[in-house]
Amino acid sequence: MEEPYGASGEHEGFPGTVSIGHDALRLLVTETGRSMLRWASRLLVVNGHGGHLTSLAEAVTGLRGEGRDVAWWPCLPPGSDAHAGRAETSMMLRHAAVRAERAVAGPTEPLHLLMDRLVAESVRGVSPFGVLGDPAGACAGDGERLLERMADRLAEDVRGWRVGARGWLSRPEAQPVTTPAGDGR
């Protein structure tokens, strides 16, 4: 199931952005998860927006606290930039979803160095075009390879089903393993 709604308040400085907020997203994921897990034995929420991380972690850990086998997984290529930089632009070029000739660079500092400004000023306050990174050199071929590596990593992580304390599905070496309450594994 693809959910077209999300918490994107940090992008509301750009016309066309609609956000349901973190409380609503958390509730939406929680209630959708409860409903789906009435007939499914396991649920994986695959996330493509960094702004959802806290809401997803809270919803998934809440569901796990109810004894449900659920996890979330971030669509994040290794070594990628934050938003509309080379990696993300390459993946979008693979799907012909951007116009490369209009690509511009934004701040290239690591995200952790920009975080205070992003929280205080939103994305538009930090980058007038919404780009966090540099899309220079982006190409569809790189996007294809990044998407293939992400898909391979996702498949590997699903096979291993190692869920961390915040509900994140990943390889055993990436984080400590926890299981839903009372499942005896």
Between the CA of residue 41 and those of 31, 34, 36, 170, what are the distances in Å? 16, 11, 9, 19
pTM (2 d.p.): 0.81
Q: Where are the domains of the chain?
A: 9-174
**pLDDT value of position 181:** 44
Chain-centre distance for alpha carbon 57: 11
Burial label, 103 (beta-carbon count in 10 A; 0-12, 13-18, 19+): buried
Tell me phi and psi for residue 124, to 5 degrees: -65, -35
- Residues 6 or more apart whose Cβ sits within 8 Å of residue 97: none
The CA angle 107-112-114, to the nearest 5 degrees, is 40
**Was domain 9-174 assigned CATH 3.40.50.20?**
no
Q: pLDDT (tens digit, 0 to 9) for every residue of the chain, 185 residues total?
A: 666 778 988 888 889 889 999 999 999 999 999 999 999 999 999 998 888 889 999 999 999 999 999 999 998 877 777 788 899 899 989 888 788 888 899 999 888 898 889 888 999 999 999 999 999 999 999 999 999 999 999 999 999 999 998 999 986 555 444 444 433 33
Report whether 167 contacts 60 (CB < 8 A). Answer: yes
- What tens digit of pLDDT does each residue of 129-147 get? 999 999 999 999 999 999 9
- What kind and span of H or E run contains 43? strand 43-47
